Amino acid sequence: MTIPPREELVHVIQGQFRLAEKPNQVLSTLLGSCVAACMRDPVLGIGGMNHFLLPGNDPNSTNNVKYGAHSMEQLVNALLRRGAVRDRLEAQLFGGANIVQGLTKIGDSNCAFARQFIRDEGFRLVGEDLGGIRGRKVRYKPATGQVVIEPIDALAADTATRSPTRKAPAVKSGEVDLF
């Protein structure tokens, strides 16, 4: 009997994008008003995740990955360089909460940008969990497309990431599980 390899967690922080280098890797991030795009080529089983803070382009033209346009381009181009086929790429979008009442609704702007980018580029959107007023912990397995979303309160974010008793349930490709 062959024992499957243990899952390897890869953290994606603000302004970063990462590809899964191995089939057992799970990409993980914490989101408030930021948005994470999870993209994959389902035939090759390769994919990645980005985490952007602001919609659109960098007004100073430094192509900073904290801006959605550059972050999305970086993720797509990295997947294409690894052999992904553009017409097969599927996307899932997460985050964009307005967690602080009375401040600008940057979460709404991030959501609108992410959806528009996916539409404009002709990618297939297979799942999303956007908006609202609560943060999210996202775990994405590019090899299968499985996603687990754990809602978190902004003030409890640190505690939720350290809870040893929480287990992420398995979900089918393209499905999002909220608990």
Q: For residue range 17-58, what is the model confidence (pLDDT) as tens digits?
A: 999 989 999 999 999 999 999 999 999 999 999 999 988 776
Domain boundaries along the sequence of the chain = 8-178
Question: 71: closest CA among 24, 21, 111, 18?
Answer: 18
Give the whole-number percent of the chain exceeding pLDDT 70. Answer: 78
* Alpha carbon distances (Å) from 62 to 57, 59, 135: 9, 8, 28
Instruction: Catalytic residue, from 34, 37, 53, 126: name it.
Output: 34
| Predicted pLDDT of residue 170 | 47
Taking domain 8-178, whether its CATH number is 3.30.1330.200 is answered by yes
| Predicted pLDDT of residue 177 | 54
Q: Are strands 124-130 and 90-95 parallel, antiparallel or unpaired?
A: parallel
Decide if 34 is catalytic: yes
- Strands of 35-41's sheet, edge to edge? 16-19, 46-51, 35-41, 90-95, 124-130
What is the per-residue pLDDT across 108-153, written as a single tens digit (0 to 9) for each?
999 999 999 999 999 999 999 999 999 999 999 999 999 999 998 7
Question: Residue 72, Cβ neighbours under 10 Å: how many?
Answer: 24
As a whole number, mean pLDDT of residues 97-107 equals 82
**178: confidence class by pLDDT, cuts 50, 70, 90:** low
In sequence order, the β-bridge partners of residue 152 are: 135
| Signed CA dihedral, 4, 146, 132, 124: sign only | positive
| DSSP H or E run through 4 | none
3-state class (DSSP) for residue 110:
helix
pTM of the prediction? 0.81
Across 3-12, 81-90, 127-136, 154-163, least confident range: 154-163
Round to whole Å and give the CA distance between 172 and 151.
Answer: 19
